[in-house]
Each structure stands twice: as structure tokens, then as C-alpha cells.
């Protein structure tokens, strides 16, 4: 299995060194550029650096990775581009950005949420692979057919990580039509979250929102949900993550999996765990977003989950809640450790 790894500007060089050490296992490094809205919080903001200093550090890191032979994916995956969505000036900016990044560092592919931007990139940069973002929540053959010829590959919606029969069907269609599909391995988002689109839109407009006199800070509905004691025990069946030990189950449907590492507090730990195919510690620490703070002092010890966990949840048919299945609840109770004890 190869990995698609998200760039993060970190205070130490541990993440960069981990990427360089694992470069033969990495298919691409993906990143956002400049002020362009993207699917995560602004990539060039850093606590101890000005925006210009952070930008220079990021460019220096990308140059190092480029010289090491790594390939890059540019994110144009904002949840909303507002009134600029169809503007000629915006299209010009996008093309100039793609041209600049490709000229300086090289590009293999572009990921987008916008069918319009996909067409724009395909028309102007035909050698680049255009990929549908996981935020498009593509989960059917029909959805891929609707998008036509502008997309060369697709991230399949998170929830289908727990539905191998559906993934086999989508993967077969992609092979038959000269396309590729990829999966997101370590999402911490709740399955079928009704607030995901709203949250993605907030992230896309975060620069403007940060300048407002805001009454609240929205972190998503998931954190409040998981603070309720009665809902913690259903966590394992409400998430779509694939453990490092279980990624081999998906080699029949994809050649590479995306690792969400752009805002994880220890991205080098995530990459190391998946590259090694094993992890000992709190499973929540590998996810993005992670819920370690919400569940503390409770942790989910990865090594205490059943050996057949990945195989069981990937092919169970998602009949959660139907009697007499209590597998995920039992697995949670067996792996839950209270640090205070």
C-alpha cells in the first residue's frame, strides 16, 4: 500500500524527516497554497511565525521534498468559493497558481470539490491527474458517471470504508473506465454527519470569519456528541477509520490510501504507524480530527481491539444496532482503558 500524505508546517523537523525516510512508501504529498480556500484550516498559519515566515518555511520544505523525488498534489478543495466560484478572475488565479506550483516544485495531480475547476484544470493542464475530493462524498457508480471525463480519480466517501462489497463495485467500475479510486484511512469524522457541509463551508470562509466579532466558536457537533457518556460506547461503529493493521484488506480496491495529517498534532506518528502497519497506543491519536481530549481519561488501546476487528467491520454490511450484534460495543469495552486507574 502507498500513502498520500498531507503536508503540515510543524515546529520540529520530525514530520519532514519521517516523510523523507518513508518516501518510497509515499505516492504523493498534498498541500494547499496561499490564501486559496481548502478543506482544512489555513495551511500557512503558524503560532510562532508570521504568515510570510510560514510561507517561506513551507516553500523550503517543498523544495527539499521535490529534490528527494516526491510527487505533489495541489488542493483546490474548498467547500465554498462564494461569489468568486464562477468568476473569470478566479479562474485566472487558479491557473496561475497551478502553473506556479507545477513550475517550482512539480505536480502530479490536483484535488478539487468543484466540477468547474476540474474542467478548467483538465482543459489547461491535460497532463495533470484531476481527483475528486473526499468532501464530494462520492459513493456510487452513478455519481462517478455524472461527473463525466474531467475527473481521472476519486476519493470514495469515508463511510464506505466499512462496506467492502460497495468498494469492490466502485473499484471495478474505475478499472473498466481507466479511472482510479482512493480511500481516506484515518478520518475522525462521524459517519453521515449532518453538519459536515456546514462545517466545510465555515472552513472555506475562515479568513473572513476570523475577522468578525463572533459569538461562538464552532468545533463541529461531534465533540459535544462524544462528551455525552451514553454515546461513547458506540464510537467504534460511528467512525470510518481503517487501523494500520487492517489496510491490507483494501489492497484489492485501491493502491493508495490518504492519511489526514494536515492538522493532527503529531503527523509523524500517523505516518509511522501506517507505514509500519502497526500501532501501540491510543487509537484516537491517529485520527483527524482526534477526540483524545473529549474522552480523556478514557483511551482506546489499539492493541486491545480484537485481531479480526478490521475484517469484521469492513464486511459486516453495516447492520449496526440490529440484534443480536454487539460486536463494536464489546470491542470498545475491551479496548477502553481509564488512565486514572
Q: What is the mean pLDDT of residues 40-69?
A: 83
* pLDDT given for residue 43 in this prediction: 45
What is the rounded average pLDDT for all residues in the chain?
92
User: Is pLDDT above 90 for 273?
Assistant: yes
DSSP β-bridge partners for residue 187: 288
C-alpha cell at 221: 457537533
H-assigned helices in 105-195 = 115-124, 141-146, 164-176
* pLDDT given for residue 228 in this prediction: 74
* pLDDT given for residue 321 in this prediction: 60
* pLDDT given for residue 66 in this prediction: 97
Q: What is the mean pLDDT of residues 126-154?
A: 96
User: Is pLDDT above 70 for 244?
Assistant: yes
Better-scored residue on pLDDT, 155 or 315: 155
In the chain, % of residues over pLDDT 90: 74
User: Is pLDDT above 70 for 217?
Assistant: yes
Q: Radius of gyration (Cα) for the chain, nearest Å?
A: 20
Q: What is the mean pLDDT of residues 191-206?
A: 90
CB contact at 8 A, 250 and 257: yes
Q: How far apart are CA 23 and CA 29, in angstroms?
A: 10
Q: Measuring CA to CA, which residue among 177, 183, 140 is closest to residue 158? A: 183
Q: Measuring CA to CA, which residue among 252, 257, 313 is closest to residue 286? A: 257
Domain annotation for the chain: domains and CATH numbers:
2-338 (3.20.20)
* pLDDT given for residue 210 in this prediction: 86
User: Is pLDDT above 80 for 176?
Assistant: yes
Task: Write the CB contacts of 83 (distance below 8 Å, at least 6 apart in sequence).
Answer: none
User: Is pLDDT above 70 for 39?
Assistant: no
Q: How far apart are CA 313 and CA 119, in angstroms?
A: 37
Q: How far apart are CA 273 and CA 268, in angstroms?
A: 9
CB contact at 8 A, 259 and 226: no
Place of cell 469484521: 312
In the chain, % of residues over pLDDT 70: 94
CB contact at 8 A, 264 and 195: no
- Secondary structure (DSSP) of 202-220: HHHTHHHHHTS--S-----
C-alpha cell at 142: 452513478
Better-scored residue on pLDDT, 206 or 68: 68
User: Is pLDDT above 60 for 42?
Assistant: no
| Interior/surface letters 234-253, b for 16+ CB within 10 angstroms, e for the rest | bbbbbbbbbbbbbbebbeeb
Amino acid at each position: 500500500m502507498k500513502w498520500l500524505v498531507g503536508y503540515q508546517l510543524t515546529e520540529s523537523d520530525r514530520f519532514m524527516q519521517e516523510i523523507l525516510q518513508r518516501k518510497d512508501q509515499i505516492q504523493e504529498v498534498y498541500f494547499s497554497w496561499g490564501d486559496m480556500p481548502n478543506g482544512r484550516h489555513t495551511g500557512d498559519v503558524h503560532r510562532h511565525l508570521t504568515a510570510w515566515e510560514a510561507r517561506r518555511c513551507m516553500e523550503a520544505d517543498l523544495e527539499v521534498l521535490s529534490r528527494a523525488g516526491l510527487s505533489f498534489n495541489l488542493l483546490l478543495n474548498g467547500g465554498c468559493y462564494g461569489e468568486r466560484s464562477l468568476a473569470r478572475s478566479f479562474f485566472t488565479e487558479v491557473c496561475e497558481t497551478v502553473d506556479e506550483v507545477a513550475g517550482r516544485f512539480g505536480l502530479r495531480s490536483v484535488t478539487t470539490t468543484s466540477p468547474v475547476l476540474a474542467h478548467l484544470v483538465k482543459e489547461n493542464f491535460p497532463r495533470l491527474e484531476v481527483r475528486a475530493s473526499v468532501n464530494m462524498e462520492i459513493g456510487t457508480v452513478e455519481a462517478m458517471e455524472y461527473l463525466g471525463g474531467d475527473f481521472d480519480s476519486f476519493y470514495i466517501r469515508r463511510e464506505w470504508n466499512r462496506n467492502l462489497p460497495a468498494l469492490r463495485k466502485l473499484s471495478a467500475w474505475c478499472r473498466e473506465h481507466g479511472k482510479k479510486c482512493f480511500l481516506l484511512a484515518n478520518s475522525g469524522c462521524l459517519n453521515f454527519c449532518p453538519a459536515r457541509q456546514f462545517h466545510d463551508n465555515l472552513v472555506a470562509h475562515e479568513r473572513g470569519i476570523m475577522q468578525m466579532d463572533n459569538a461562538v466558536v464552532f468545533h463541529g457537533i461531534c465533540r459535544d456528541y462524544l462528551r455525552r457518556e451514553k454515546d461513547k460506547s458506540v464510537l467504534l461503529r460511528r467512525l470510518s477509520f481503517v487501523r494500520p493493521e487492517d489496510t491490507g484488506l483494501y489492497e484489492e480496491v485501491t493502491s493508495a490510501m490518504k492519511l489526514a495529517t494536515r492538522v493532527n498534532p503529531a503527523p509523524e506518528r500517523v505516518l509511522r504507524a501506517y507505514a509500519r502497519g502497526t500501532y501501540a497506543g491510543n487509537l484516537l491519536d491517529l485520527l483527524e480530527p482526534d477526540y483524545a481530549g473529549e474522552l480523556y481519561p478514557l483511551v482506546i488501546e489499539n492493541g486491545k481491539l480484537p485481531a479480526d476487528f478490521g475484517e469484521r467491520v469492513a464486511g459486516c454490511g453495516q447492520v449496526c444496532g440490529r440484534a443480536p450484534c454487539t460486536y463494536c460495543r464489546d470491542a470498545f469495552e475491551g479496548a477502553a482503558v481509564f488512565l486514572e486507574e
